[in-house]
A = this chain, B = another copy of it.
């Protein structure tokens, strides 16, 4: 086992690994500077080597990480399930992988987090929130690219038909080989070079590796099928005929793009504006593991900020410019450097972050994450390297949280340029554009095709509709030709095998000049996209604690804003005289809208405090014998410090409201009210 060491000595140990990454990063940069073809074998090899060295560096960093930073995941998950924060869905029927239910505690935390998200983003920026259908017809997801590209490769057990995600299976197999005692140095090098490539492999490459290493099903040792691409969307059919194929949406974003015109109109035609949506999305993962990190049904909160591509400044950028945020830039990653603490103002000025709007959202995401309980030391923004980024994106930063599963992507924040609106425009035929005023009015050519149906009608009766439509749909070039011919004499046209003679009076094509004040453009989209379940999971890991007195006393230090209940109400004992006070205090808190849990069960007060700590309740009101005397008072205990104060019952709603919303701190409360020391305080009772 690695022993924790001080920062300096760890840094000395890491130095050679950092150097190795840097050397290789410089080589890759040089290739790029030389504009090398991305498919060049030597270049690909250099990229792989870089990944390999980055991985080795990450492993070293994890190895030397201070022990207090690591958590006992099993113990935490035990608590989360025992007190029903969440658990597997349908488990009385054996459960379904990748589906989870939130119990009362998880559900309350989620509701609090979403309420804060609405306040922090939607209210603050006056965003336009929408709530769109999850059922989505195929054409929409054709346009977005999901029908063609939203897939993972899978292999099947040739006999049982069990499916595995191909990349995960190959990686697990190679890692197992690496750990074998009798591995030769040559084999080791070979596998170490292969491993970082798995991520980017297509089906053919994977098949070659599976055959070469004679990989079998890890469960049955049977042969495996060739890898096939498996689309991750859940398919269904809408309506009774079975003719309208649909999917459950894989993200909420498309609902905002297809409503762009309505939203722009709602915003009176003005840009920039942001749409936002909170809702569930679905991915039919091949073999979901990693608990809440990889699930088949999940809640997202997404923002689509529409902006003029020629002006991505943000009027409120100054409010976040002084924040210091851990940025793990593409260049840091190439050089083997750690993430850097950078002032956002500097990052945008130096063009490390592409533009102010992107920088503004990174700042707002940082503030949100730390406010809901993510540990800022375990939060970084990692920039996508150019080979990770979608071809249309111009910059992308993931907010990653450090967990026992490694660094987990919790929020993506991408500048997607004009890709999405362009695609939907192409597939739907609807113009999805905004207008910007021109510096000076401009003259443009306007073409007008006109079939005069009243005149056509006189000659052709019931065929008028077909003829009018035919003429109206002519391309501008064809229309011009027809117009010119008609100047010289009548013309014959054929529709559905029938011939009609068209005269000059039936058809006009005109080109005129018009002065315009505005020009149309397709807006860019900046998209912060939040995985709520992953943020919750990270927040649980970052706030999980074990009391030094006892391994059994586990609890969560969630901030009051997010805690499922703000307060516990505990009578010191089952004494009848306490009961009316329990009822009275509960009713005061209900009236004030403060969520709370009454625990009148038997058990020592210490045991009930521990039960209340387990579900992250930050404060506990205790009714004791002094409560019975006028002026009626109770004690209020803080979960994290064990300290207690004594105050009047009447004051409780106010105190708790202040503590829950963060307008007053526990420290300030302690200085305003007398501390309460339990007469026979023992460790067990606390």
Measured CB to CB, the residues of A under 8 A from B are: 83-84, 87, 89-93, 96-97, 99-104, 106-108, 110-111, 115, 118-119, 123-124, 126, 128-137, 139-140, 154, 156, 161-163, 230, 234-241, 243-244, 246, 248, 255, 258-259, 261-263, 265-266, 268, 280, 282, 284, 286-287, 296-297, 424, 427-428, 430, 432, 590, 593, 595, 597-598, 601
A645 to chain B, nearest CB (A): 25
Give Cα A536–Cα B520 distance, bound, in whole angstroms: 37
Q: Do B123 and A593 have beta carbons less than 8 Å apart?
A: yes
Partner pick for A93 among B96, B287, B428, CB 8 A cutoff:
B428
Closest to A83 in B: B266
Give Cα A83–Cα B262 distance, bound, in whole angstroms: 9
16 residue pairs A–B, Cβ–Cβ below 8 Å? A90-B133, A90-B140, A92-B424, A93-B137, A99-B135, A101-B131, A101-B259, A102-B132, A103-B128, A103-B259, A103-B262, A119-B593, A135-B296, A235-B236, A236-B236, A240-B286
Give Cα A110–Cα B130 distance, bound, in whole angstroms: 10
Q: Do B129 and A108 have beta carbons less than 8 Å apart?
A: yes
A83 to chain B, nearest CB (A): 7
Partner pick for A99 among B111, B133, B261, B590, CB 8 A cutoff:
B133
Q: Which residues of B contact A132 (CB under 8 A)?
A: 89, 101-102
Q: Do A131 and B107 have beta carbons less than 8 Å apart?
A: yes
Add 20 more A-B contacts to A103-B130, A239-B286 (CB < 8 A). Answer: A84-B265, A84-B266, A90-B133, A92-B261, A96-B135, A96-B238, A96-B244, A99-B133, A102-B131, A104-B128, A104-B129, A107-B129, A111-B118, A115-B115, A123-B595, A134-B297, A135-B296, A234-B236, A238-B296, A280-B280
Q: Do B133 and A297 have beta carbons less than 8 Å apart?
A: yes
Closest to A160 in B: B241
Closest to A267 in B: B104
Q: Do A282 and B234 have beta carbons less than 8 Å apart?
A: no
Q: Majority SS of interface residues in chain A?
A: mixed
Closest to A115 in B: B115
Q: Do B129 and A101 have beta carbons less than 8 Å apart?
A: no
Give Cα A590–Cα B123 distance, bound, in whole angstroms: 7
Give Cα A432–Cα B91 distance, bound, in whole angstroms: 13
Q: Do B244 and A428 have beta carbons less than 8 Å apart?
A: no
Q: Do B103 and A263 have beta carbons less than 8 Å apart?
A: yes
Given A101-B133, A107-B131, A297-B133, CB of A93 within 8 Å of CB of B258:
yes
Q: Which residues of B contact A124 (CB under 8 A)?
A: 590
Give Cα A432–Cα B93 distance, bound, in whole angstroms: 13
Q: Do A104 and B130 have beta carbons less than 8 Å apart?
A: yes
- Which of A139, A268, A287 has most chain B Cβ within 10 Å? A268
Partner pick for A262 among B87, B97, B134, B424, CB 8 A cutoff:
B87
Give Cα A132–Cα B100 distance, bound, in whole angstroms: 7
Given A92-B428, A104-B130, A236-B248, CB of A163 within 8 Å of CB of B590:
no
Q: Do A258 and B92 have beta carbons less than 8 Å apart?
A: yes
A541 to chain B, nearest CB (A): 20
Given A92-B258, A118-B111, A137-B90, CB of A103 within 8 Å of CB of B297:
no
Partner pick for A163 among B84, B135, B236, B240, CB 8 A cutoff:
B240
